[in-house]
C-alpha cells in the first residue's frame, strides 16, 4: 500500500481527512500525522510516506518551508498542499516547488478522492518502470562509521532540520541502508537516537529552570508543543513537573 502522512496544525482537519477518504480502495493507508512542519521533519524518517498532505499555514515551519526541505531529501515524495482561499494565490505563486496539487480548505471528499486517483496512477506508473529488488547504490559501511555518525548527531542535534536523509547524504549512503545498519549496530533506530540526544540535553536544561520554549529551541525542536510531547514520553513527566522535581536549589 502507498503510505500517506497528514501534516496540519488543526487536529479536526487531520481527523476529517483521515476519516473521510476511502484509503483502502485506493491502495493507500494513513501511516501518521504531524501538527507542524518541524514535527513532520522529525518523524518523516519513521513514517516513510509516499504522499504528504501539507497545510500551508503552520507555526514554526509552514507548509512551503516543509515542502522545500522534504522534497530536497525525498525527491519522489508527492506533496498535496492544503490552503485556505485567502492564501491560495500565495500558494500558487510557489510554482518552483514540486507540488502535485493545491487544494482549498475545507476539503471536499470527491475532490480529494479524484486527486488521489491521479496520484495512484503516477505512483503505479513509477513502480512499473522501476526494476524489482533494485540493489542499493550507498558503498559498504566500514565498522567505525556508525560511531562517527553517532558523534555527528551528538554534535549537530541542535539543527532542527537534521534527519536520517540528511545524515545519510552527509556520509554517502542511502537513507534506507543507513536506517537498517544503524538499528543493527546500535539497537536503536535513527530517530530514537536523535531524540535521546535532544532529551538528555533538555533534562539538563530543565534542571537549571530554563523555560520550555527556550529549551526546545536549544535542542533543535523549536515547536514547543512537539517538544513537550517528546519530553514527557522520554522523561515520564511533563517539562514543568520535571523542573519542580529536579530544580537545583
Which residue in the block uniquely carries the three cell numbers 545524515? 167
Q: Give the torsion sign (CA, 133, 48, 167, 200).
A: negative
What is the pLDDT at residue 93? 65
- Residue 82, beta-bridge partner list: 55, 103
pLDDT score of 148 = 94
* Radius of gyration from C-alpha coordinates of the chain: 19
Give the residue ranges of the chain where pLDDT is below 50.
Answer: 131-136
Predicted local confidence at residue 91, as pLDDT: 66
Is residue 112 within 8 A of residue 21, CB to CB? The reply is: yes
pLDDT in tens, 109-138: 999 999 999 999 999 988 877 644 444 457
Q: For residues 35 and 62, is the Cβ–Cβ distance under 8 A? A: no
Q: Residues 135-163: pLDDT tens digits?
A: 445 767 777 899 999 999 999 999 988 99
Under a CB-based contact definition with an 8 Å cutoff, are residues 36 and 9 in contact? Answer: yes
Q: Residue 9: CA atoms inside 13 Å, Cβ hemisphere, count? A: 16
For residues 72, 39, 44 and 55, what is the CA-based torsion angle, rounded to 10 degrees?
-70
CA pair distance 96, 105, nearest whole angstrom = 22
- Domains defined along the chain, listed by start: 2-129 (3.40.50.2300), 145-246 (1.10.10.60)
Query: What is the reported pTM?
Result: 0.76
Amino acid at each position: 500500500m502507498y503510505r500517506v502522512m497528514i501534516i496540519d496544525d488543526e487536529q479536526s482537519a487531520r481527523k476529517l481527512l483521515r476519516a473521510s477518504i476511502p484509503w483502502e480502495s485506493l491502495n493507500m493507508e494513513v501511516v501518521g500525522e504531524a501538527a507542524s512542519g518541524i514535527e513532520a521533519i522529525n518523524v518523516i524518517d519513521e513514517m516513510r510516506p509516499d504522499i504528504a498532505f501539507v497545510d500551508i499555514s503552520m507555526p514554526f515551519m509552514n507548509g512551503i518551508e516543509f515542502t522545500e526541505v522534504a522534497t530536497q531529501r525525498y525527491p519522489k515524495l508527492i506533496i498535496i498542499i492544503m490552503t485556505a482561499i485567502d492564501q491560495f494565490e500565495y500558494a500558487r505563486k510557489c510554482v518552483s516547488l514540486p507540488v502535485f496539487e493545491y487544494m482549498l480548505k475545507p476539503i471536499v471528499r470527491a475532490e480529494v478522492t479524484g486527486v488521489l486517483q491521479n496520484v495512484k496512477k503516477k505512483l503505479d506508473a513509477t513502480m512499473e518502470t522501476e526494476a524489482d529488488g533494485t540493489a542499493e547504490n550507498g558503498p559498504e559501511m566500514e565498522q567505525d562509521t556508525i560511531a562517527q555518525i553517532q558523534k555527528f548527531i551528538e554534535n549537530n542535534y541542535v539543527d532542527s532540520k537534521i534527519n536520517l536523509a540528511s545524515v545519510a547524504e552527509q556520509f554517502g549512503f542511502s537513507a534506507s541502508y543507513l536506517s537498517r545498519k544503524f538499528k543493527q549496530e546500535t539497537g536503536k533506530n535513527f530517530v530514537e537516537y536523535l531524540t535521546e540526544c535532544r532529551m538528555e540535553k533538555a533534562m539538563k536544561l530543565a534542571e537549571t529552570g530554563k523555560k520550555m520554549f527556550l529549551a526546545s529551541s536549544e535542542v533543535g525542536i523549536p515547536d514547543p508543543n512537539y517538544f513537550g510531547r517528546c519530553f514527557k514520553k522520554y522523561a515520564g513527566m511533563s517539562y514543568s513537573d520535571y523542573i519542580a522535581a529536579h530544580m537545583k536549589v
